[in-house]
Structure 1
Amino acid sequence: MHVTISGYIARYRFRILVLIALVLLQSLFAFAIPIIVRVSLSSIQLGDMSNTCFVCFFLVLLGAYLTTMGYHLFLLRFSLVFKHNELKRLFEDLFRARLSRVQELGPTYFAHRILTAGSNFFSLIGDSFPKALVAGLVIIISLGLILSLNKFVFLLFLVLIPVSYLSYRRLNMTLQKKSDQLQSVSAHNIKNVIGVVQNLEEIKHLSNYHVFSELTGRYLYDLERANADVGRYAHLLSTTIQFSISLIRNGVLFLTIYYFLSSRMVFADMMFVNLIFSIYFTALSELNGINICKRDTDASLGFVNREIIAHRETDAGRETLASVDQLAFYIKHFAYTPGQDILRDINLQIKKGDRIAIVGHVGSGKTTLVKLLMRYHNNGDSISINGVPLSLYTLDSLRSKIYIVPQRPHLFPGNIRDNIVVGLNNVCKKRLDRVISLPFFSSFIRELPLGLETKVGEDGFSLSSGQKQKIMMARLLMHDPEVIILDESSSCMDSYSETAIYHAIETLGKDRITIRISHRMSTIKDANTIVVLSRGRIVASGTHQHLLATSREYRELFSPQLISQLWNK
């Protein structure tokens, strides 16, 4: 379902109505001031001035002050509720988008544009929309009051509408495409700056700080140049529009002064006209404001619907995966780019309790095989679980039964405890205590002064690679999936920790399917079946000893490690 402004308005209609009421009340107080001033001045001219006018004037000012305070406090509260709720929805839509699309543009790019979109959406429905609605009514009332005084001044008021509103509308329609481009350029360059800064350790290692400051400077220059291009175009046109409006505003002022000096208008009416004109001009500005907001909002709506909603993963599955008894891969071919097969003629069956290892050179298709199992990419019905094609299962039920521990750990903001239980709706305290007491994990936690409360830092900056992998393993054990996939997930650990982890997985994850992907022989040699991939095909399979005796590809993969073993003996 596409994101629309009308949908937001319907969802928050009560709060919007309250804002409209408060803006309307502000406008009533604004109109009361020139009326009181006019009555007061007329009374002074007649020599019949009373304290009533001063009391009314004070009460109106007090009412305007309290109304304005109430408006801003309500608006701030509304902003908090709206952005909290709607940004959550937008990020959930992002999480449901195709992984390949998010990786193509980069998560930071999407995060920046979503935050910008949330601000733009609220600016329109929470601020500009209520003000613009009331502004239309204010303009009509103002024109009616001026028409009752002077028709020529009324015509000047009337001319200001097309000159101001329509000119700004035309300007913002022209700038809409530029606004979309600016938001995209901003997100890309901020993403690049963050990408440089995240490599601070490598920057310090290389020591050439000037090169990296120049690199960030280049991205920031592109960002500011895009801002300057839009700003220059906007200022040139808006200055011309402002000049035209200024001529009319000053024309009204001088005309009323002329009428007063020529005794065709009393002083009270002259003041009244100019005070009403101030209210009228403010209302026109609010109408212009909605044009500007709509320009930026349309750019954000286009981004959300085009780059996120249109790329949502398709989930036509209707069956819920209750348990995994068997996996079957029958992949005739798979390619990211047509004509360049990554996998071909894959025929593999795995049953509950199997410990499978997949080995092969870099680029042989090992990780791709796993991604197809997770349905990150569509390949028809070439993979089945329990004899049922993957596409018939719902994505949520499928992925809840499978857990991948990648080589590069994925850590979240917070402490170590948060990272172990992240993604769980309900945390089993008994299981958590059991997991953190396991030897591979408890020894690492004891080394930290704050233990589980230790902050991981940005991207686990404060932890070693091996410690990050241990946290990922603990998270795996907390989720207790039925299919465990270890993709080079212990590559940064010592052999003792690796052995302890695999023992823990066998103990806590009995009758699970375990798939190990590794270039380390010690990781895979005890597997029931080892599958050898070469250029996307299965070229051999069997136990470690069987493959050593029968497969040249297998021996070549591990020849340095085999030689090292013989040398140590």
Structure 2
Amino acid sequence: MLEKRIIPHLRKYYKYVLVLLLGAVVKALIAFVAPVAVREMLEAASLPVPEPGSIFLYGGLFVGCFLLGYLLNLGVTQLYLRFSFKFKSNFSRELYHELFRMDYQAFQHREAGYFVSRIKMLTDQAFSLAADSLPSTTVSIVTISVAMAFIASVNMALFAMAILLLPLSYFGYRTVNKKLKKMTADYQVSYADKFKNIFGVVQNIESIKQLTNYAYFSSSVAKHVEGMEKDSNELGLHVRNVNMFMMFLMDLLKNGLLLGTLALFFMKRISFPEVMFLNMIMGIYFGALGSLSGISLGMRDVRASFDFLEQELRAKAEKGGTQELLKVDALSFKMDGFSYNGKKDVIKNFSLDLKPGDSVAIVGRSGCGKSTLGKLLTRLYLADGVSLNGLPAKDYSLESLRKKVYHVAQAPQLFPGTIAENITAGLSEPDAKRFEEVVALPFMQDIRELHSGLSLPLRDNGSNLSGGQRQRITLARMLMHDPDVVLLDESTSALDGAAEESLLASVQELCRGKILIYVSHRLSTVKRASRIVVMRDGAVSADGSFEELKETDAEFRELFAAQM
């Protein structure tokens, strides 16, 4: 049920919701002042001796209530905006927290742009439910109840007719909503996918400029935009058709009631002031009935978005163990096999035991499974066969494991913010002394000497830096986290030989007594390891020192022939 899913998010904002509800109910009650005042003025004017005092009294009440409604609207609007800021900020933070805990492979299947789009939809619709739909529903119920009481006070036959409209409206909208819910869910998925694809094109601006065929890429974007608009039009057309039919039905019933009112007037069962009164009351009644039905129709978007929360974010959350990894005293790979989605094994018959102080280089041809090891080690990919301190890696909580095991990938990932903020990313309270030590290392010199130094704001993924500078920042970030196991996966590939030598010397010094794993195609990097493992087709084909492998392993010699 949607109510069970949204109520926990609203409890912390109950004051805002209650005030908005109260304001909406007061505004609804004010709306009834007009028909009551008109009836009383007409009755006062129709007396044998008109009562000007009564006419002015009710006229003043009429104007005063509308002025009160205007002032109430001003206050409610200010509260609404404050509620919007607070709710959307906090709710989106909660959603992104859940997104970051999502299974890595499930995330990769959809990609970032899709989830950003869906989270934005869900945030807006959840707020609309809390601040618009809930008060509007309450107002509609109050308005319908009061209107029916007024109708009953004039004529019970008209009251009975008004009662019959309620189930007709409810079941009519409920029937069409079933189809609309599925259409809306499909639309939200399609829209987010196309948004992701547009973002995927636009973010590659350097390649677009290099390739110069702007019309080609504009057409690529336009194809996705046209798809979004087509989906939107199909859904919108269906919604409009439903709305037009229901409006036609409501207008038909409304006019039927008005004709019934006129018939009662001509039969002298009701007076002219009562005719005017009922005409205004029925306008309010049908307006509330249409609003209530429209809210029911609009709930399809909210339900589809909350289905996304339950079925895609929460259902696919990462699952870790309960043990806390405080220190790594031993690391072991004993893997019989690992494959992506049940396809050909990427890793097979891979065995490796390491202890603190060990440094090992893992080498092999592209596609042999080297980089996969880093994702298995940090449990981005799930497989048995990796153990820490004699316990399976899956037994440890993901947070404690990733604090102690750090994988530095070849492609650096930088965040919006300054260089300094990127170096300390992920640390709520960075160690100031450690920070000064890291940024003072020789390999950080040219970054310190940039025109804004460590305060330089980074553009999209650090596009205003060189590839080597981006890699050095991610390595500085790793050093700030001070893990027990470090896997450097081609993480110096954008550096020249001298810069790489300076950086790796600093890394080795600060990682003394830790487990250090190199994955590289550079002989200069590989030779830093005391042990070298050669991989072939996901398995270990050779294991030894540089001198041993140079003499005994043909695969190793072929890999580095051009560098020896």
TM over 0.5: yes
Name the counterpart of 1:356: 360
Residues 415 and 461 of structure 2 are in contact (CA less than 8 Å); yes or no, is this contact kept in structure 1?
Answer: yes
For residues 268 and 293 of structure 2, what CA distance do their matches in structure 1 show? 36
Give the alignment partner of residue 519 of structure 1, picking from 503, 518, 521.
521
Name the counterpart of 2:125: 120
Name the counterpart of 2:36: 35
Shift of 1:257: 5.4
For residues 389 and 541 of structure 1, what CA distance do their matches in structure 2 show? 24
Residues 21 and 135 of structure 2 are in contact (CA less than 8 Å); yes or no, is this contact kept in structure 1?
Answer: yes
Residues 335 and 348 of structure 2 are in contact (CA less than 8 Å); yes or no, is this contact kept in structure 1?
Answer: yes
Shift of 1:250: 3.3
User: Are 2:69 and 1:67 equivalent residues in the alignment?
Assistant: no
* RMSD value, Cα: 2.0
For residues 391 and 530 of structure 2, what CA distance do their matches in structure 1 show? 24
For residues 258 and 6 of structure 2, what CA distance do their matches in structure 1 show? 40
Give the alignment partner of residue 133 of structure 1, picking from 112, 133, 138.
138
Name the counterpart of 1:491: 493
Name the counterpart of 1:567: none
Query: Does the residue aligned with 1:328 lie in a helix, a strand or coil?
Result: strand
Give the alignment partner of residue 413 of structure 1, picking from 395, 406, 416.
416
For residues 52 and 505 of structure 2, what CA distance do their matches in structure 1 show? 96
Shift of 1:259: 5.5
Shift of 1:9: 4.0
Give the alignment partner of residue 506 of structure 1, picking from 508, 523, 528.
508
Q: Deviations over 1:148-186 (max 9, x none)?
A: 213443344334434444323322222000000000010
For residues 226 and 479 of structure 2, what CA distance do their matches in structure 1 show? 47
Greater alpha carbon shift after TM alignment, 295-304 vs 429-438: 429-438
Query: Does the residue aligned with 1:384 lie in a helix, a strand or coil?
Result: strand
For residues 206 and 441 of structure 1, what CA distance do their matches in structure 2 show? 34
Shift of 1:276: 1.5
For residues 423 and 281 of structure 2, what CA distance do their matches in structure 1 show? 64
Name the counterpart of 1:44: 45
User: Are 2:342 and 1:341 equivalent residues in the alignment?
Assistant: no
Residues 414 and 462 of structure 2 are in contact (CA less than 8 Å); yes or no, is this contact kept in structure 1?
Answer: yes
Greater alpha carbon shift after TM alignment, 185-194 vs 471-480: 471-480
User: Are 2:359 and 1:323 equivalent residues in the alignment?
Assistant: no
Greater alpha carbon shift after TM alignment, 476-485 vs 194-203: 476-485
Name the counterpart of 2:393: 390
For residues 186 and 296 of structure 2, what CA distance do their matches in structure 1 show? 18
Name the counterpart of 2:154: 149
Normalising by structure 1, we get a TM-score of 0.93
User: What code does the residue aligned with 1:509 have?
Assistant: C
Give the alignment partner of residue 109 of structure 1, picking from 103, 108, 114.
114
User: What code does the residue aligned with 1:30 have?
Assistant: A
Residues 333 and 342 of structure 1 are in contact (CA less than 8 Å); yes or no, is this contact kept in structure 2?
Answer: yes
User: What code does the residue aligned with 2:453 have?
Assistant: G
Give the alignment partner of residue 444 of structure 2, picking from 433, 438, 441.
441
Query: Does the residue aligned with 1:342 lie in a helix, a strand or coil?
Result: strand
User: What code does the residue aligned with 2:440 have?
Assistant: S
Residues 372 and 378 of structure 1 are in contact (CA less than 8 Å); yes or no, is this contact kept in structure 2?
Answer: yes
For residues 442 and 404 of structure 1, what CA distance do their matches in structure 2 show? 24
Residues 138 and 280 of structure 1 are in contact (CA less than 8 Å); yes or no, is this contact kept in structure 2?
Answer: yes
Name the counterpart of 2:8: 7
Give the alignment partner of residue 406 of structure 2, picking from 393, 403, 406.
403
Name the counterpart of 2:552: 550
Q: Which segments of 5 or more consecutive residues in structure 1 lack a partner in the other structure?
A: 563-569
User: Are 2:288 and 1:286 equivalent residues in the alignment?
Assistant: no
Name the counterpart of 1:365: 369
For residues 517 and 301 of structure 2, what CA distance do their matches in structure 1 show? 48
Residues 335 and 351 of structure 2 are in contact (CA less than 8 Å); yes or no, is this contact kept in structure 1?
Answer: yes
Give the alignment partner of residue 53 of structure 1, picking from 50, 58, 62.
58
Name the counterpart of 1:565: none
For residues 143 and 377 of structure 1, what CA distance do their matches in structure 2 show? 62
For residues 77 and 158 of structure 2, what CA distance do their matches in structure 1 show? 34
Name the counterpart of 2:463: 461
Q: Deviations over 1:432-471 (max 9, x none)?
A: 222222222122331x322222221112222221121111
Query: Does the residue aligned with 1:77 lie in a helix, a strand or coil?
Result: helix
Name the counterpart of 1:87: 92
Residues 406 and 489 of structure 1 are in contact (CA less than 8 Å); yes or no, is this contact kept in structure 2?
Answer: yes
Residues 124 and 293 of structure 1 are in contact (CA less than 8 Å); yes or no, is this contact kept in structure 2?
Answer: no
Residues 408 and 489 of structure 2 are in contact (CA less than 8 Å); yes or no, is this contact kept in structure 1?
Answer: yes
Shift of 1:261: 6.9
Name the counterpart of 1:176: 181
Residues 250 and 286 of structure 2 are in contact (CA less than 8 Å); yes or no, is this contact kept in structure 1?
Answer: no
User: What code does the residue aligned with 2:412 have?
Assistant: P
For residues 477 and 33 of structure 1, what CA distance do their matches in structure 2 show? 72
For residues 506 and 40 of structure 2, what CA distance do their matches in structure 1 show? 88
Residues 165 and 284 of structure 1 are in contact (CA less than 8 Å); yes or no, is this contact kept in structure 2?
Answer: no
Query: Does the residue aligned with 1:94 lie in a helix, a strand or coil?
Result: helix
Q: Which segments of 5 or more consecutive residues in structure 2 lack a partner in the other structure?
A: none
Q: Deviations over 1:118-155 (max 9, x none)?
A: 11122223321232133223212211211221344334
For residues 460 and 198 of structure 2, what CA distance do their matches in structure 1 show? 15
User: What code does the residue aligned with 2:539 have?
Assistant: R
Normalising by structure 2, we get a TM-score of 0.94
For residues 173 and 237 of structure 1, what CA distance do their matches in structure 2 show? 12
| Pairs aligned (count) | 558
Name the counterpart of 1:232: 237
Name the counterpart of 1:430: 433
Q: Deviations over 1:263-301 (max 9, x none)?
A: 654343233212222321232133123313321111112
Greater alpha carbon shift after TM alignment, 47-56 vs 192-201: 47-56
Residues 526 and 544 of structure 1 are in contact (CA less than 8 Å); yes or no, is this contact kept in structure 2?
Answer: no
Shift of 1:254: 5.0
User: What code does the residue aligned with 1:29 have?
Assistant: I
Name the counterpart of 2:563: 561
User: What code does the residue aligned with 1:324 have?
Assistant: V
For residues 225 and 435 of structure 1, what CA distance do their matches in structure 2 show? 53
Alignment of 1:158-307 (within 5 A): 158-253=163-258, 255-256=260-261, 265-307=270-312
For residues 147 and 343 of structure 2, what CA distance do their matches in structure 1 show? 69
